Structure 1
């Protein structure tokens, strides 16, 4: 049985997110920061699809 004084712990991942956006762009996403330059993707959509298909074939 859970007591009434039970409090939920805060989401740790929210506090441990150390990514800071150097460009303050609304399009920049910390999850995909390794694939972005100035908040925009490095590859075109065609290149992304082509690389995914090549990985499937190998």
Structure 2
């Protein structure tokens, strides 16, 4: 029984988005904020990319 149909390609897209979002938030608009703020927002971007990849492609 597959509850959430995630492929390796979808997982890779989520991991790549997590890395890019972490760097982007840390070096860009959230540079003056504490690190935990970037840590909070980067996984949200990765989950959003994963869901888009799973359900729209």
| Shorter-chain TM-score tier | under 0.3
User: Whose RCO is larger (CA < 8 A, sep 6+)?
Assistant: 2
Structure having the larger proportion of residues in strand: 1
User: What TM-score does the superposition give when structure 2 sets the normalisation length?
Assistant: 0.27
User: What TM-score does the superposition give when structure 1 sets the normalisation length?
Assistant: 0.26
